[in-house]
Chain A
């Protein structure tokens, strides 16, 4: 029974195994990135960045048709450009980063929509932009695994300045010049993970695997190591459960994965031990000290 429900799909079908491997790899990289986005109060940055990446992919499609490397590269280039420009603008002008990012991603989005409308039928394009986790080929899997590897190594290298810049930016600036570069590297990692996610889940839903596990984890622990581990586990679990549900119900896989993550998020909102709803409603006796 349990075998039929959980294991059989993966034993029987190669594409299911690929989907699972791809999703687990994505969750491994996106989890920690999401935690830092949340801690840096940039939870909406991932979303804005996803909108910025989308036109890049569309341009790749316009130029080379339905060929993934071109679309990936297009998304990367536009994503990096928007991330770097808004990061630089925030550091050298009076605009704050959120305002400057909003400016650039909207320009990028409008440009993208204009370009796409030049070409008539966009059914294929929509299909790709909203992901197809059951159609991951070797190249896509290698890309996702590569991006996750780069993400984990880079995060380990910039971990210290990244944390310090969240807590006490003035102190970091007084002892080191690593703050600016580490922030830009981090933004690049956000773009990389969105682009990695876009073949599996689509650019917009890819943000879900980044933010939902992070926000859920925050309701269970407030310690940074615990946050990162828990967010990654929630992401992976959502991937597994989402794929299985989608297999048995014939619902689209990408949205299924994110909906499972959303379910975890809502459950955490209610039951989360570190600030969930019911713990506020149930009167609890205070301690002695």
Chain B
């Protein structure tokens, strides 16, 4: 079983903030992530890479609790309210008439909740978050007028305000230009220095090599997991490409049960 050869990195001696207990995630009983074991250490900066259909986004949804595991379980070392999640860009209705300021202000949900007001201190925090992503002066613009890169900057400003322990990013730099990517990677590194845990689904392997110390290579089952330079080798990548089988509507029951 290739899954058993790819366990959590041995360097992670710290307490895991996410623990995978032989977890299987999927849709309609077809697994998208198959028997994953291991953990993500608190304060680590991890990239999840793999071919399309490898279960990367599914794994993030599982961590968020948006998808119930088919088998096994996911243990969280922090409260769910302390997780910030940036979904893929297409989930947002860009035609909705809301201003950049209001969109970013949603990051304060944990403080303001359903009814709480936005006071002067929060207002300043929002201005600072916008400044940090280079969007000062965009407060009154509606989100429909932003370019793709500007929208992503606004969403990162919202993440800043969420002040979360664990930050999950689903393809945050897809269709984003190099300058914006560099600026946003700086923010990711700032979170890393602040001892927050960051997990990002990425496709740009060069970027992963440059900016992410740890990598999980996923192809429905974990292929390799550990220090990025050990994971992203040609042999592993080839194996990952071969492991994505086509969808089989008549797939048999899986005999490996969770312990």
Contact = CB atoms under 8 A, between A and B. Distances in A.
A39 B87 CA distance: 21
Contacts of A163: 96, 98, 102
Q: Which of A168, A174, A227 is most buried by chain B, counting CB atoms within 10 A of its CB?
A: A174
Q: Which of B87, B97, B109, B114 is most buried by chain A, counting CB atoms within 10 A of its CB?
A: B97
A178 interface: yes
A288 interface: no
A258 B144 CA distance: 32
- The SS class assigned to the A binding surface is helix
Interface string A205-236: 00000000000000000111001000000000
B114 A166 contact: no
B84 interface: yes
A167 B92 contact: yes
Contacts of A167: 92-93, 96, 98, 103, 143
A222 B93 CA distance: 14
A13 interface: no
Nearest to A167: B96
Contact of A170 (B87, B98, B143): B87
Contacts of B158: 171
A168 B158 CA distance: 12
Interface string A24-40: 00000000000000010
B122 interface: no
Q: Which of A39, A160, A161, A163 is most buried by chain B, counting CB atoms within 10 A of its CB?
A: A160
B64 interface: yes
B85 A39 contact: no
Interface in B201-247: none
B142 A157 contact: no
Contact of A174 (B85, B93, B98): B85
Given A161-B114, A167-B103, A168-B92, A175 B97 contact: no
Interface string A153-196: 00001001101101111110111101000000000000000000
B97 A171 contact: no
B97 A227 contact: yes
Contacts of A168: 91-93, 103, 106
A66 to B, nearest CB: 43
Interface in B92-117: 92-93, 96-99, 102-103, 106, 109-110, 113-115
Contact of B85 (A160, A169, A170, A222): A170
Contacts of B109: 175-176
Contacts of A166: 93, 96
A175 B81 contact: yes
B84 A174 contact: yes
Nearest to B113: A176
Given A168-B91, A173-B66, A178-B114, A39 B96 contact: yes
Nearest to B92: A168
Contacts of B113: 176
Contact of B142 (A174, A176, A223): A223
Interface string B140-159: 00111000000000000010
Contacts of B96: 39, 163, 166-167
A227 B96 CA distance: 12
Contacts of B162: 175
A123 to B, nearest CB: 46
Given A167-B103, A176-B109, A160 B93 contact: no
11 contacts: A39-B96, A164-B106, A166-B93, A167-B98, A170-B66, A170-B91, A171-B158, A175-B110, A178-B114, A223-B142, A224-B98
The 6 closest A-B pairs by CB, nearest first: A170-B87, A175-B109, A174-B85, A222-B97, A167-B96, A170-B91
Interface of A: 39, 157, 160-161, 163-164, 166-171, 173-176, 178, 222-224, 227
